[in-house]
Amino acid sequence: MSGIFGFVNLDGRPASPESFQKMADEMAGWGPDGVGSIVSGSAAFGHALLIVTHESRFEKMPFHDQDEGILFTAAARLDNRDDLCDMFGIGHPDRPVTSDGQLVFRAYKKWGSESCKHIFGDWSFAAWHIREKRLFLARDHLGNTGLYYYFKPPLIVFASNVKAVLAHPEVPCELNEMHLAQRMVGDYSDETFFQTYWMNVNALPASHAITLTNTDRKIEKYWRLDEASPIRFGSDKEYLEGFLEHYRRAVRVRLNSVRPIGTQLSAGLDSSSVTALAAEALMETNQPLVAYTSIPMFPAENFFPNSITNEWPLAHQTSELYANIEHIAIQSENISPLAAVKQNLKILHEPQHAAANMFWIVSMFEKARTRNIGIMLTGQLGNGGISWSGGQNYIFYLLVHNQWEKCWHALNAWKKRHGYSWFRAVKSQLLRPVLLPLSSEYQHFLRPGKQTNFVYSFPHIEFISRMGLTRKDQFGNPIKPMTPLVERNLTLIRNGIMVGPVWHGLGSFCNLEVRDPTADIRLLEFCMGVPDEQNTFEGGRRMMIRRAMKGILPDAVRWNVLRGKQAADTIPRLVDQPEEMDTLLAHLESSQGIKQYLDITTMKRAWQDINSSSSTAEIVVNQLLRAINTGCFLRSFSR
């Protein structure tokens, strides 16, 4: 989608056109349909336009309201356009020429900082109050856009693209070692979302707004996921009808496009339901839908015996239900996992959590670009929302919180569904959540030296120790049992909120918008508000969406419980081109600067294990590719 950028000199110095042009150059790729700019006094604002929606053809940003003394720019695609138009008295004849950015500005004029609570969708904006010398920045509820800023009085710099911030000559390009260490051990705690790999360059977190002046920085969270209002109906049928009503609306408002529409389609419930509902809606106006499914190039069943390593058969069952779906296989034969890591850094400029998935994601987006796809639908946020399982420890926490009758019914239903004995049911659902963390702690007590064995990537232990981090800071730490609510929030963060800037940047690079109906605020609040029993109905998991999709998805997809692996053949792809990995590791090892951060010796040992074993654990491959991703980033760390 479109992007925004700009800077302000709080001391009143005139904004330098040369500095602004350097930022505009970095944003040029984000604005194939034009880069707008206003340089006025001590401020310079810009907007990189990507036309996708019908109304975006009339977008005129940035905007200077001289009466109010506000310089404004926004990148926006709104879910509640009609509601806002009704509220502002915009008649139906004028709505097609009223852009989403204009609606965001009207909302800001009406509600000020409270406007964030009234605009739903994918958006970020900046408002400079000239008379008060005050800058307001805000980002959408779930972080579907990216927004970075540098604040060191008297200078404020902001942009959708972090490289545009760094392009300003007065922004130093210095490595943030603490953030690097936190990411290398997989620390994704809330405070880390404010930081980036560059010192004093911050990311505005999802559902946050910040006010900056020469003397103050005030940041606030305007929306909380766990504050969704409870929803109570009189029957199961009403819950399913309400769910489908919200879900269909979330899909339909994301189909606004002047160009063809594509969708990611796997064997899973989330992407399959998004695809089916989109096809259903587009069929009403005889519009096609292009569905992309990643398929393996090499056999991978031996690496994942209890998973789906080729998602094409189930995905194709979904596509065959709808005559307007064109189903395309993405084998990614022209890009290796390591080449994709390097390409990712050129596009997004920083290491990614899902480094092992980049080869098929990059390949899919490149294929979409050749078809002039304007929208790529995804179901990225589904696991924590529309298809929430109820949580791994759901029954255990009912017991812990003295909900004994509810716990009894849930345990009995789970036992019947799985055909287990009472002993096995109690062991699995009530004892395991207690014994697993205790076992981990006991193993740590017996072998305290193993606390340096980080499972997220391969950081150099001396670097991690110097930063003051320990095993307890790492990703997926087994000694930190989670409540279902914490697990759900982390699922949403890992599957969605972390990915928003990735989709924003990757989509802009390929001149398209990534839209996620499962990240619709009103749909997500509905899913958060319904009783837990709707998701764990009759002892099952993800039961609300399974029941609601009857007649919409094939039963084989609806009731599938095996996990799909979209990057299942990563290992044979790496082994097929061993010289590529050997060369890269040698380059990393030759750099003293990189060796102080990465444990190259362990990385090489892991690569040897991958080469010599036919059943290398997935976790080792993910570790290695994340470490490679970090190493390539450190090699290229510059302006």
98-139 tens-digit pLDDT: 999 999 999 999 999 999 999 999 999 999 999 999 999 999
Residue 189's pLDDT band (boundaries 50, 70, 90)?
confident
| Amino acid 618: pLDDT | 79
Mean pLDDT over residues 358-372, rounded? 96
In angstroms, rounded to a whole number, what is the distance separating the alpha carbons of residues 10 and 213? 7
SS3 203: strand
In single-letter form, the type of residue at position 18 comes to E
**How many Å apart are CA 110 and CA 583, to the nearest integer?**
58
Q: At what angle do helices 177-184 and 618-635 cross, to 10 degrees?
A: 160
Q: What are the tokens at 297?
A: 């190039």
Query: CA–CA separation, 221 vs 194, rounded Å?
Result: 12
Flag whether pLDDT at 172 surpasses 90. yes
What is the predicted pLDDT for the residue at 493?
Answer: 75
Supply the pLDDT for residue 446.
Answer: 62
- State the virtual CA torsion across 507, 512, 516, 520 in degrees, nearest 10: 110
Q: Helix/strand/coil (H, E, C) string of 368-435? A: HHHCCCCEEECCCCHHHCCCCCCCCCHHHHHHHCCCHHHHHHHHHHHHHHHCCCHHHHHHHHHHHHHH
Residue 449 has a pLDDT of 46
3-state secondary structure 221-272: ECCCHHHCCCCCCCCHHHHHHHHHHHHHHHHHCCCCCCCCEEEECCCCHHHH
Domains of the chain: 3-223 (3.60.20.10), 227-388+488-568 (3.40.50.620), 577-635 (no CATH)
Q: How far apart are CA 3 and CA 46, in angstroms?
A: 9
* pLDDT at residue 450 tops 50: no
Q: What is the pLDDT of residues 5-37, one digit of tens each?
A: 999 999 999 999 999 999 999 999 999 999 999
DSSP state of 614: S
Distance CA 471, CA 478 (A): 10
| Cα 524 from Cα 225, distance rounded (Å) | 8
- Compute the distance between CA of residue 639 and CA of residue 628 in angstroms, rounded to an integer: 20
Q: How distant is the alpha carbon of residue 152 from its chain centre? A: 28
pLDDT tens figures, 616-631: 677 889 999 999 999 9
> At residue 367, does pLDDT exceed 70?
yes
| Percent of the chain scoring above 70 in pLDDT | 94
Report the pLDDT averaged over residues 488-494. Answer: 79
Of the pLDDT bands very low, low, confident and very high (cuts 50, 70, 90), residue 554 is very high
* CA distances in angstroms from 113 to 119, 125, 131, 149, 210, listed in the order given: 11, 11, 17, 18, 9
Torsion-angle region of residue 390: left (phi > 0), alpha (psi -120 to 50) or beta? left
Residue 193 pLDDT: 75
Token pair in block for residue 530:
């319904």
Beta bridge partners of 212: 135, 217
What is the reported pLDDT for 638? 47
**pLDDT beyond 80 at 215:** yes
Query: How far apart, in whole angstroms, are the C-alpha atoms of residue 110 and residue 282?
Result: 35
- Write the single-letter amino acid at 619: I
> Which conformational region is residue 207 in: left (phi greater than 0), alpha (psi within -120 to 50 degrees), or beta?
left
| Interval 193-207 mean pLDDT | 92
CA distance 109 to 112: 6
Cβ-based neighbours of 190, under 8 Å, separated by 6 or more: 205
Instruction: Decide if 215 contacts 135 (C-beta within 8 A).
Output: no
| pLDDT per residue as tens digits for the range 596-614 | 999 999 999 999 999 887 6
474-484 confidence digits (pLDDT tens) = 554 544 567 88
Nearest to 186 by CA among 567, 484, 444, 471: 471
Q: Is the pLDDT of residue 156 over 50?
A: yes
pLDDT at site 254: 98
Q: Which two tokens stand for residue 75?
A: 């990148």
pLDDT on residue 499:
85
Other beta carbons within 10 angstroms of residue 25's beta carbon come to 13
pLDDT at res. 435: 79
The mean pLDDT of 394-410, rounded to a whole number, is 92
User: Rounded to an integer, what distance in angstroms lies between the CA atom of residue 19 and that of residue 201?
Assistant: 17
* Per-residue b or e along 540-552, where b marks 16 or more CB atoms closer than 10 Å to that residue's CB: bbbbbbbbbbeeb
SS3 content of the chain, % helix, strand, coil (to 5): 50, 15, 35
Q: In what order do the strands lie in the sheet with 208-212?
A: 63-65, 70-78, 121-129, 134-139, 208-212, 217-221
Instruction: Quote the pLDDT of residue 455.
Output: 66
**pLDDT of 492:** 82
DSSP assignment letter at 31: -
Give residue for tokens 């179901």: 379
